[in-house]
Amino acid sequence: MMDSLLEYRNCPNCGGDDFDVLFNSNMKDCDFRETVDTVYMLPGSKYGRHVKCRRCHLIYVNPIEKVSKINQDYSEMESTDANIIRESRLRATKSQVQLIKKYESGTSLLDIGCGEGFFLLNASEVGYTAKGIEVSQDAVAYAQKELGLDVDMGHFGESQLPENYFDVVTLWQVLEHVPYPLMILKEAHRILKPGGLAAIATPNIGGVPARVLGKRWWNIRRVHINQFTTETLKGIIKNAGFKKVSSVSYWECISLSMLFIPILKYLRVYEPLKAIFYPSSILGKVMDKIRFIYPAKVDNCIMLGFK
């Protein structure tokens, strides 16, 4: 039964099929029937078998769940907490916009996997002609209706975007989720103008939190099927054709609500207690004001590359 739910893949960077197993999956047959949920720092996570390519050292999950199943799960993923995380996400993504402004003066921007559109909203407010593409129907509806943004629903690889068109392309926390990250990067390269900027961030499995926590690191999760270090992310970006690839940072921001929600979900008491987190409640306001701000680099790889 397991085999029909899984598919094997070669190294998503170099195409090699020679790897070492880092650790095995902890998922049982019944886990596959549960749809995936997107939350921050969920304790007791499920995860697939992690392997490391002997040729390029990329760490990736192999086998992965059927790509059709992954796509369906993302398409149906709900954005129920969007209003609760809104303020802290707006704050963190403002810092991402400032980073990009330092390196690129052109104004047409595409955010791939834009989610609810918090980054896009900030980018639009400082003058970018900002467009997003996103697979989650719920997130697209939020971005369009609540934030009034220009967002297409669908898969980036299948969208017929023009060549040499955008000044900036961004991939914030996307590449760790996709079965074919090199293909996504090559497509991002194709639609950029010559000299255009790509900004790419993923969790960093070579960072201190990952090394200290091992399998208990919050980014070892079912939905994360590629794991990058600064070196392997830089490698795959160069492989896609980008030049002058460099490591940078921005200020990450996490509210107390964002830390509590996954714990309550894990304890299965989130639904009855949810109302206390609403931005309209007093406790919700207080928990949203208490924010942890730290350099994103501590736990993430953040790269800039140019076409």
Q: Which residues bind Zn ion (CB under 5 A)?
A: 11, 13-14, 16, 53, 55-56, 58
Q: Is the previous residue joined to 63 through a cis bond, with omega within 30 degrees of 0?
A: yes
Residue 233 Cβ vs Zn ion, minimum distance, rounded to whole Å = 13
Q: Please, which residue, 11 or 114, has the CB nearer to Zn ion?
A: 11
Q: Which two tokens stand for residue 132?
A: 């997003």
Q: Please, which residue, 12 or 117, has the CB nearer to Zn ion?
A: 12
Residue 57 Cβ vs Zn ion, minimum distance, rounded to whole Å = 7
Q: Please, which residue, 13 or 88, has the CB nearer to Zn ion?
A: 13
Q: Please, which residue, 39 or 51, has the CB nearer to Zn ion?
A: 51
Residue 219 Cβ vs Zn ion, minimum distance, rounded to whole Å = 20
Residue 240 Cβ vs Zn ion, minimum distance, rounded to whole Å = 14
In angstroms, the CA 21 to CA 53 distance is 9
Residue 71 Cβ vs Zn ion, minimum distance, rounded to whole Å = 24
Secondary structure (DSSP) of the chain: -HHHHEE----TTT----EEEEE-----GGGGGSPP---SS-SS-----EEEETTT--EEESSEE-HHHHHHHHHH---TTHHHHHHHHHHHHHHHHHHHHHH----EEEEET-TT-HHHHHHHHTT-EEEEEES-HHHHHHHHHTT--EEEES-GGGS-PPTT-EEEEEEES-TTT-S-HHHHHHHHHHHEEEEEEEEEEEEBTTSHHHHHHGGGSTT--TT--EEB-HHHHHHHHHHTT-EEEEE---EEEEEHHHHHHHHHHHTT-HHHHGGGGSTTSHHHHHHHH-EEEEEGGGTEEEEEEE-
Residue 232 Cβ vs Zn ion, minimum distance, rounded to whole Å = 8
Residue 19 Cβ vs Zn ion, minimum distance, rounded to whole Å = 8
Q: Please, which residue, 55 or 216, has the CB nearer to Zn ion?
A: 55
Q: Please, which residue, 52 or 190, has the CB nearer to Zn ion?
A: 52
Q: Please, which residue, 96 or 226, has the CB nearer to Zn ion?
A: 226
